[in-house]
Amino acid sequence: MSRKNKKYDRERWGLKESICTFIPGTKDFGTMRSRQARQGVAFILPFIIGFIFFMLTPMLNSIRMSFSTVVQNPGQGYSYTFIAFRNYQNALGVDPGFNKYLVEEISRMGVNAIATIVMSFVVAVILNQNFKGRTLARAIFFLPVILSSGVLAGIESQNEFYDMMAGMAEAVGKSSGVNISAALQDLLSVSGIGSGVFTVLFDMIDAIYDIVMASGIQIIVFLSGLQAISPSLYEAADVEGCTAWEAFWKITFPMVSPLLLVNTIYTIIDFFMKNDNRVMERINTVMYSQFDFGMASAMSWIYFGVAILFIGISAIIINRGVHYYED
Amino acid sequence: MKTDASAVKHVSKRDTKYVVKSKIKKYGISIARGLLLFGLCFMIIQPLIIRFSTSLMVESDLYDSTIVLLPRHVTLDNYKIVADLTNLPRSILNTLWTSLLVSVCQVIACTLVGYGFARYSFPLKKFWFACVVLLIIVPPQTIQTSLYVQFASFDLFGLIPALGGKPLNLRTSIVPYVLMSLTCMGLKDGLYIYMLRQYFKGIPKSLEEAAYVDGCSTMHTFLKIMLPDALPTIASCFLFSFVWQWTDLFYSRNFLSSYSIYSVQLSSIVSRMSRYFAQGSDVAVVVPNARQQQLIFVGVLICSVPLIILYIFTQRTFVESIAMSGSKE
């Protein structure tokens, strides 16, 4: 406890001391502590400058834009007219498609995020075992981080042909029963048990390519967590007569659970920023084709608000179940 | 003696049964594992194979339903067409030097900032770190509109008009983006700061203290002791930054629009096709969808092959840094 208090003191800066640190001639200016503090600030100075000018200013500006109509005057820059919440109302109520896309993307994200986490955890557990070609498998699973980034992610789905082919494949699958998941779905939905659950499940199975492509980083993070577990824990459990199944739930899962939070947040952010996201497309259209900057900003803020809400909720839920191991 | 021997025999018989059973279990598990892993890996690799084989086909091969994977007539014409469509040697060279420049700037800035956060105590440190987290979670798209406006009439935060000059239009130069990279506001910079901070935190503090005791200055300690130690992590941040910048569309489209960047060219390749195939005649040519798709495949391949080669040689660096940053503080 005392150690913690001491640390707390070291990191603690009173108001007077903080100000004196940066003003020459004052009492606290010459101390080792304030000299160190000045060095620290010097190190992070690029970030402070950048954050204020390229993040905070545009953010405030963007909030202002979202509450006004922006008109571009040739050669004069831009003029703003304050219209309160009109842009937000328009984005949610008037704009064709925006709220539909928003709901669609969010529900898709909810399902895919859970599937990605589960999938990457299972793959990480498998990759953590000893077998031939482990390095190769690890390398291949990480490949999507490179191959599905930026322009490479969205380019193919933008093509009409792709949509047409997907539609055709679906039709063929339905009629001839070639598509295994569709056939299974038919079978199970006939039996009438919780068809809603099955629909979600089969959507996941159909989306497995997307899920694997999105889980490169998460697999590595889980894998590192798994490798950090000391083998002696398993030995002790084994001696006590613990089965592999029990060991998994009592040792592996709790030890890796802190990483669940990191991975969930990463997955959600990753999903929200993807290029092939339809909400993003809509925002881009409004901005670059219709030049309605106010509306585009309002849409972005709604989108960001939803993202934050999601991250917050999942952080709270996960933090409940997480076990932090202290040594 | 005799009883002992029979006991041994008995035990060994039971043992054999147990051994056989456990062997079957072991092989069963490894076969199931192998199948699962092979399936998933195949799913990741398969698009590459299909793209490659399609890229070599003649147009008529695309419509021949007897051809699945192997092209009947191998041709390299598609590569030539895509090279013309995307302004090739120029655009890839532009992509190369901009990616290098930007990622070097990013890594330098992020290393300094990461070190500052990991090692020093100063007023408002928690606040600034919360800002780093904010940087990670705010999509750059949220602020793109106002950045667009800001750089369209850039006045150096009010300095230029004060000195009697006119606001500059920086949207056509690389300067804004380099400035942003140098101040940690580029593509995914929050993540790199986080990764580097995490690494620097893990280096024992006594290393620096020893250096200070021996009379080493702050800068000297940082350059001579901390940097060489952190080199692998810095290298992997550089690689990530380079690769993501290479494929990036968002920043390239917003800030580098005058440079003919490959990713931007690739994203608008479809719209340029019909004009290209109509060359010499006034009749508008409708490019068949399959053909469009094939040319997109070629474009994607040209973009990703250099990255795959880079990845093959630097695979370890990529993977290990992520493994490190995942560990909880």
- What range does the domain containing B21 cover? 2-55
A319 and chain B in contact, CB less than 8 A: no
Mean pLDDT of A283-291: 76
SS (H, E, C) B100-136: HHHHHHHHHHHHHHHHHHHHCCCCCHHHHHHHHHHHH
Mean pLDDT of A269-285: 77
Based on the domain organization, do B20 and B110 belong to the same domain? Answer: no
Mean pLDDT of A233-237: 91
Based on the domain organization, do B141 and B260 belong to the same domain? Answer: yes
**pLDDT tier for residue B102 given thresholds of 50, 70 and 90:** very high
pTM summary value: 0.83
Based on the domain organization, do B51 and B190 belong to the same domain? Answer: no
Q: Give the model's pLDDT for residue A157.
A: 56
**Does the pLDDT at position A327 exceed 50?**
no
**Does the pLDDT at position B1 exceed 80?**
no
Q: In this structure, how many other beta carbons lie within 10 angstroms of the beta carbon of residue A301?
A: 20
If residue A21 lies in a helix (H) or strand (E), which one and from where to where?
helix A15-21
The distance of Cα B209 from the centroid of its chain, to the nearest Å, equals 36
Q: Give the model's pLDDT for residue B117.
A: 92
Residue B100: which of B230, B234, B243, B312 has the closest Cα?
B243
Based on the domain organization, do B93 and B27 belong to the same domain? Answer: no
Based on the domain organization, do B35 and B164 belong to the same domain? Answer: no
B116 and chain A in contact, CB less than 8 A: yes
Instruction: Say which range, A175-179, B76-80, B195-199, B210-214, has the weakest mean pLDDT.
Output: A175-179
> Would you say B200 and B114 are in contact if contact means Cβ atoms under 8 Å apart?
yes
C-alpha–C-alpha distance, residues A307 and B253, integer Å: 24
B242 occurs within a structural domain: yes
How many interchain CB pairs under 8 A, A with B? 264
pLDDT > 90: percent of chain B: 14
Name the residue with higher pLDDT: B213 or A277: B213
Among B41, B247, B323, the residue with its CB nearest the CB of A151 is: B247
Name the residue with higher pLDDT: B66 or B247: B247
Instruction: Give phi and psi for A155, each to the nearest 5.
Output: -60, -40
Which of A8, A29, A55, A79 is the best residue to mutate to test the B interface, defined by the most B CB atoms within 10 Å of its own CB?
Answer: A55
Name the residue with higher pLDDT: A204 or B248: B248
**Does the pLDDT at position A127 exceed 70?**
yes
Give the distance from residue B321's alpha carbon to the nearest chain A alpha carbon, in angstroms: 10
Give the distance from residue A146's alpha carbon to the nearest chain B alpha carbon, in angstroms: 7
B182 occurs within a structural domain: yes
First to last CA, chain A: 15
Q: Is the CB of B131 less than 8 angstroms away from the CB of A273?
A: no
Q: Give the model's pLDDT for residue A173.
A: 45
A52 and chain B in contact, CB less than 8 A: no
- 161-190 of B, contacting A, C-beta below 8 A: 167, 179-180, 182-185
**Does the pLDDT at position A132 exceed 90?**
no
If residue A81 lies in a helix (H) or strand (E), which one and from where to where?
strand A77-82
Q: In this structure, how many other beta carbons lie within 10 angstroms of the beta carbon of residue A29?
A: 14
A217 and chain B in contact, CB less than 8 A: yes
Q: In this structure, how many other beta carbons lie within 10 angstroms of the beta carbon of residue B307?
A: 19
Domains in chain A, start-ordered, CATH in brackets?
14-55 (no CATH), 96-321 (1.10.3720.10)
C-alpha–C-alpha distance, residues B301 and B308, integer Å: 10
**Does the pLDDT at position A159 exceed 60?**
no
A197 and chain B in contact, CB less than 8 A: no
Residue B244: which of A263, A145, A211 has the closest Cα?
A145
Instruction: Say which range, A184-193, B235-244, B275-284, has the weakest mean pLDDT.
Output: A184-193
> Would you say B143 and A59 are in contact if contact means Cβ atoms under 8 Å apart?
yes
B68 occurs within a structural domain: no
Mean pLDDT of chain B: 82
Q: Is the CB of B289 less than 8 angstroms away from the CB of A159?
A: yes
> Would you say B43 and A148 are in contact if contact means Cβ atoms under 8 Å apart?
no
C-alpha–C-alpha distance, residues B90 and B259, integer Å: 9
Q: Give the model's pLDDT for residue B329.
A: 39
Q: What is the DSSP letter of B67?
A: -
Indicate which CATH number applies to the domain containing B125: 1.10.3720.10
Q: Give the model's pLDDT for residue B133.
A: 87
Which of A54, A64, A311 is the best residue to mutate to test the B interface, defined by the most B CB atoms within 10 Å of its own CB?
Answer: A54
Query: How many residues are there in chain A?
Result: 327
C-alpha–C-alpha distance, residues A60 and A284, integer Å: 20
**Does the pLDDT at position B115 exceed 90?**
yes
Instruction: Say which range, A20-34, A115-129, B3-17, B223-237, has the weakest mean pLDDT.
Output: B3-17
How does pLDDT run across B284-300, given as a tens digit for each residue? 677 777 788 888 888 88
In the numeric block, the tokens 């990991």 are attached to: B118
Task: Give me the number of domains chain B comprises.
Answer: 2
Q: What is the DSSP letter of B57?
A: B
**Does the pLDDT at position A4 exceed 60?**
no
Give the distance from residue A189's alpha carbon to the nearest chain B alpha carbon, in angstroms: 26
**Does the pLDDT at position B6 exceed 70?**
no
Q: Give the model's pLDDT for residue A229.
A: 86
C-alpha–C-alpha distance, residues B15 and B13, integer Å: 5
Q: Is the CB of B183 less than 8 angstroms away from the CB of A49?
A: yes
Could you tell me if the ipTM is greater than 0.85?
Answer: no
**Does the pLDDT at position A37 exceed 80?**
yes
**Does the pLDDT at position B67 exceed 80?**
no
Q: Is the CB of A47 less than 8 angstroms away from the CB of B250?
A: no
- 133-152 of B, contacting A, C-beta below 8 A: 134-147, 149-150, 152
C-alpha–C-alpha distance, residues A119 and A121, integer Å: 5
Q: Give the model's pLDDT for residue A5.
A: 53
Q: Which residues of B touch A65 (CB under 8 A)?
A: 145-146
Based on the domain organization, do B249 and B157 belong to the same domain? Answer: yes
Based on the domain organization, do B46 and B153 belong to the same domain? Answer: no
Q: Give the model's pLDDT for residue A236.
A: 92
H-helix segments, chain B: 2-55, 59-63, 77-85, 88-119, 125-137, 144-152, 159-162, 175-182, 189-202, 205-213, 218-221, 227-247, 250-255, 262-267, 269-277, 289-326
